Amino acid sequence: MVWAMKWVWIAALMALAVLGVGCRSEGKAKTKAHRKAEVKAKAKVESKAEPKSKAEPKSESKAEPKSESKAKAEPKSASKAKAGQSFGVQMRAFWLLLTCPDGVALPPWARERAAVAAHCKRVREAVAKHRTRYLAKARPFLAKLRPAGLPQKVLYPFGGADLLSALTTYPDAKEITTISLEHSGDPRPALTLRGAELDAHLTAAGKHIAGFLAYANSKSTTLMKLQRGPISGELALFVAALAVHDLEPVDLRYFSIEPDGSLRYVDAATVAAHHGKRGKRRSSGWLRPSSSPAFANYELSYRARSKGGAAASARGAVRVHRHIAANLANAHYKREGPLALHLRAKGKVAAMTKAASYLLWSDDFSEIRRTLTEQATFMISDSTGVPPRYARAAGFTQTTYGRYSGCFFKKRFVRSHDAAFKALWAAQPRRALPFRYGYPDRDGHFHMLVATR
């Protein structure tokens, strides 16, 4: 037996030697010029590749674009495998628990609970109502406004948890970026809830989802409070948006923004290092979130839901939503700061904003206004969008829909901009708007502003 085994090993080694010789012989068949060309090409690729460090891969271009052509270019590292820790499995379980999609069974620990059944009924009804009462009107209306050839990247400052409106306004976007004071949150605590605790927190989350879908809008103070507790309010409204648009999560990762604007994905070591800590509030008047600093900014990959066991390729491309927790006031959003550099690297974008507290009217937010006027080729908003004087200076033409008789706020607004908006609406023919888009005006009228150039 020993000798038999020895011969087996000898035979295996001889086979490997033959293979090795074969490989070397094939290599010798190449000319010296051919090998030099390969080495030169490989060196050229490696010199251009980003990141240089394998330990800290980035997903965005490090260099600030020096021209418009460079700004349009995709970051060189975008095609590389994602780094950091994936929370895709947890996010899918969170989506399942919060939205109860048809045809997918709930986990055993939730399936038999009456409160969970009531939650599922509430959310499914809210999704169905939003589709018939809002989406059926808004989607075809907005489709007629969008010109051909729009950028596939969307920027939505002051977006809160409103992935819903972004998907309604730009359903074909490949990348959506929302920015607000709220942290994204962690999906995992919700999955640890059991019994009465699960009932109470899931019922509260379901009510928030239903209220959000009823108005396609949410108050800032509500969003601030939803950062606390085992069920992330931001994530709950994000997955509700997926449910309305019949989409499903594919992957979830978190990131921070480097000084050069590139992204560093959060790895397991970073998650562990921040365990037990709470994220920092982005404004002095805001509440701190329950989640750790690791879960401030997220990147959600999603695609159309599977229909009848359809292959992934039949469900269209995987698209991306990034939410960034940031204060966009000039004191925090610097022209050459990490977030501004990150946004600038995107090049031209389609943009939107709504119910944005008229912050773009204020000179305290002039830098993010400048980002919009420099990079947006098309923008849809309510009256909280870019005021006429800045839009005209940037070469935009603004077209009005609905009626506008004055600012929704009774205080905290710039009267000169309010007067300019009233004059803008008065100077154009009245165009019907069959649904609410952001704030109404002070008399309750729906209104919308479309900026093109």
Determine the Cα–Cα distance for residues 434 and 447; give it in Å rounded to an integer: 9
pTM for the structure as a whole: 0.80
Nearest to 136 by CA among 245, 249, 248: 245
Determine the Cα–Cα distance for residues 372 and 109; give it in Å rounded to an integer: 47
Determine the Cα–Cα distance for residues 82 and 86; give it in Å rounded to an integer: 9
Determine the Cα–Cα distance for residues 398 and 386; give it in Å rounded to an integer: 10
What residues are paired with 402 via a beta bridge?
Answer: 447
Q: Going residue by residue through the chain (453 aa), what tens digit of pLDDT does each one get?
A: 433 433 333 343 333 333 333 333 333 333 444 444 443 443 443 333 333 333 333 333 333 333 333 434 444 444 344 689 999 999 999 999 999 999 888 988 898 899 999 999 999 999 999 999 999 999 999 999 999 999 999 999 999 889 999 999 999 999 999 999 998 999 999 999 999 999 999 999 999 999 999 987 666 666 656 666 899 989 999 999 999 999 999 999 999 999 999 999 999 999 999 887 876 777 667 666 766 889 999 999 999 997 655 555 556 899 999 999 999 999 999 999 999 999 999 999 999 999 999 999 999 999 999 999 999 999 999 999 999 999 999 999 999 999 999 999 988 778 999 999 999 999 999 999 999 999 999 999 999 999 999
CA of residue 430 relative to chain centroid, distance: 34
- Neighbouring CB atoms inside 10 A of 52's CB total 11
